[in-house]
Structure formats: structure tokens, C-alpha cells
Amino acid sequence: METKVIKINSPADYPLLDPAAACLRSGGLAAIPTETVYGLAGNALDADASRKIYAAKGRPQDNPLIVHISDFYQWAPLVQEIPASALTLAKAYWPGPMTIILKKSALIPDATSGGLDTVAVRMPSDPIAREVITRSGVPLAAPSANTSGRPSPTRAEHVYEDLNGKIDYIVDGGPCAVGVESTVVTLVDGAPRILRPGGITPEMIRDVLGACEVDPAVYEQLKEGVKAASPGMKYRHYAPRARVTVLSGPLDAYVRCVNAHAQEEGVYALCFDREGAKLSVPYIEYGAQADSAAQAHQLFDALRELDERGARRVYARMPSGEGVGLAVYNRLMRAAAFEVIELEK
């Protein structure tokens, strides 16, 4: 299959999206930019389109897809009921990087919901994503547009690397603003619970709903035999080809530890801005220590670059875990398969 690339530089280019929108409407696949990461879109109401998404990504079939809408009126037909708490959340943070899980309606095929009786819905804020959804006229299932297991794509070039020849279109809208996937929050059991942290923080949800729990799978590896609330959380995910270890502790202890490993083959450091010069191994900096938003923006790009440079062994600095830092912490820990070393102070 030939994959066509559509470059969008400004709203004047939006009519160029029409062939991709028509293709989506008739069951094809198009990668589109969103404010979180690039998504691999297909008609969410078409089971065959969803099956094609799983096939192109090599994604396990039990890992459900997020359904993207561009207007509030598209939400109600997809779910059994919209409780008051869901409406409050959506009014506060849609359009934006937040996904809400509710009981699904009969319109959502099992292929889209990974066999679950619930559906995850999000209204993105990225103007190009919204334009594609509106022009296609259908809600779009759109998981991250990477080969399953690879870091999520934050630029069209990343999508091209993974999916060229496997999908109909790539819409290139430049780099993504947030850089990590949306916050996934379930309201199915009544009390709001975050299954995956993202740009909308637990504090922001508490601000409008009064309460919000964070699922234990965000912080630790699921134990053998424990059922994942969010099926995606049981997979290693986000991983570069190198083995990654997160080092927790102050900068001087990190520098000592990394430099002690300098003789190992293919060693790289993944550190904060202006720390690399202290190290005697090659490094990639992924944002200032105090700037979680910058780290979120750069993390996946950094993980892909480590692959490109042939890194085999990566020692990473531990992110703060506060605010958006919780999303950075979660993605990095999963890239490391939760391998952490606590450094002596």
C-alpha cells in the first residue's frame, strides 16, 4: 500500500484533508496529529476499520481504542448514559488531553472496545485533529500511531518510520504540543479514577469533582494474575530497544553512578537539561528538572533518538511525579519495565 503524506501548514490548507476524511469514512486509515501524540485513526463505528488499526500497529486485540469526537453532540450516542460528573469534567477540560470511560452503547463494536462493555471517549483540542473528525463525519478510533511497543510518535516522521506502507494517509501537522498521551479517567464505578496519567492532572480533576483516585497500576507493575483496569497498562510499552534503568537520588550520586558504568557497551544517560556536561558517557537531555511539561514534550522523542543512536543501556534521571510529572514518571517507569535503583544520598 502506498501511504500518502498530507502536509498542513495553516488553516488555508484544510481542504487538503478531504481525501483523507473521505478515506476514513469509507473504512481506511489515516494518522493524524493531536495535541497529545499522533493518532492512527479509523471509523470507530466500523469493526473492520478497528481490526485494520490493530493489524497495522501489531496491537494486542484486548487493548481498547479511544474514540475521538469533535463536538459534544457526538458523545451521547456512543454511551449508555452521561452522568453529571462526566458532564462537569468534559465542560472543564474538553477539548483537551483527557479521555473519559463510560458504559458503551450498542453503536460501539466490540472490535473498538477490545471486547469490554465500556468505551473511552476524548475530544482533542488540536485544530487539525478536530478538522479531520468533522470532515470525516464519524467518530474516530485513534490509538497512538506507533508500532505497538515502540515509543509513541510526537512527530509525523516517527509515524512514517513505523507505519509507512501500512496505512492510507499520514497528516503532517508538525510536532505535538503535550507529547504524552491523554489522561484516561474512568467514571464507570462512580468515583473518578485515573487509569493513565496525562496532561490533565489528578489535582485538576479534584478541583472540579472534589475527588479523584489514581489506579495503583500507574505506580507499579501489575502483579502476575491481577486484571488490569486499563488493558494497555499491562504491556511494557513506550520502550526503546535499549534496557532502561531509572536512577533515583540527587544529581551528584547520579553522576557518580553513571560515570562508574562508562566502560559498558552502548551506555547512554537520559538526564535533565544542563546535566550532561558532568557525565563521561553520551547523553540526551529531556527538559529542565523543574519543568515537567518540557519533559512530557521531549520524553518520547528522546527515547526514539536513543534507538537511532544505537543505545544499548540507558541510565535515566527520575522525574518528580508531581502534576504532569506523574505522566512523565509513569511513561519512563514503563519504558524501564519498573527497574529503579535508589542511589545512596
CA atoms within 13 A on the CB side of 181: 27
Verify binding: residue 330, Mg ion, rule CB under 5 A. no
Nearer to ligand AMP, 171 or 184 (CB): 184
By CB under 5 A, is residue 85 in contact with Mg ion? no
- Distances from the Cα of 234 to the Cα of 215, 237, 244, angstroms: 13, 9, 18
CA-wise closest residue to 258 among 332, 338, 314, 334 = 314
Contact status, residue 152 vs residue 59, Cβ threshold 8 Å: no
In angstroms, the CA 321 to CA 243 distance is 22
Residue 112 near Mg ion by CB under 5 A: no
Minimum CB–partner distance for residue 154 and Mg ion (Å): 12
d(CA 323, CA 199): 8
Nearer to ligand AMP, 143 or 173 (CB): 143
> Which member of 144, 186, 201, 230 binds Mg ion (CB under 5 A)?
144
Residues lying near ligand AMP in the complex (CB under 6 A) are found at 63-66, 101, 113, 116, 118-120, 143-144, 181, 184, 195-196, 230-233
36 part of the interface to Mg ion, by CB under 5 A? no
| Minimum distance from residue 341 beta carbon to Mg ion (Å) | 27
CA 269/CA 116 separation, integer angstroms: 40
Q: Which strands sit side by side in the sheet containing 118-122, from one edge to the other?
A: 4-7, 169-172, 30-32, 39-43, 140-141, 66-68, 118-122, 98-103, 183-186, 193-196, 213-214
CA–CA dist 48, 288 (Å, integer): 44
Query: Least distance (Å) from ligand AMP to the CB of residue 254?
Result: 30
Nearer to Mg ion, 85 or 146 (CB): 146
The angle subtended at Cα 177 by Cα 172 and Cα 181, nearest 5°, is: 95
| Least CB distance to ligand AMP at residue 2 (A) | 25
Strand partners, 98: 183
119 makes contact, choosing from Mg ion, ligand AMP, none, with CB < 5 to 8 Å by partner type, with: ligand AMP
User: Which residue is at the shortest CB distance from Mg ion?
Assistant: 144
Closest residue by beta carbon to ligand AMP: 232
Residue with Cβ nearer Mg ion (17 or 49): 49
**Nearer of residues 41 and 267 to ligand AMP, judged by Cβ:** 41
Residue 88 is which amino acid? T
Q: Closest approach of Cβ 269 to ligand AMP, in Å?
A: 28
Which does residue 120 bind out of Mg ion, ligand AMP, none, counting CB within 5 to 8 angstroms by kind? ligand AMP
Question: Which residues would be at the binding site for Mg ion (CB under 5 A)?
Answer: 144
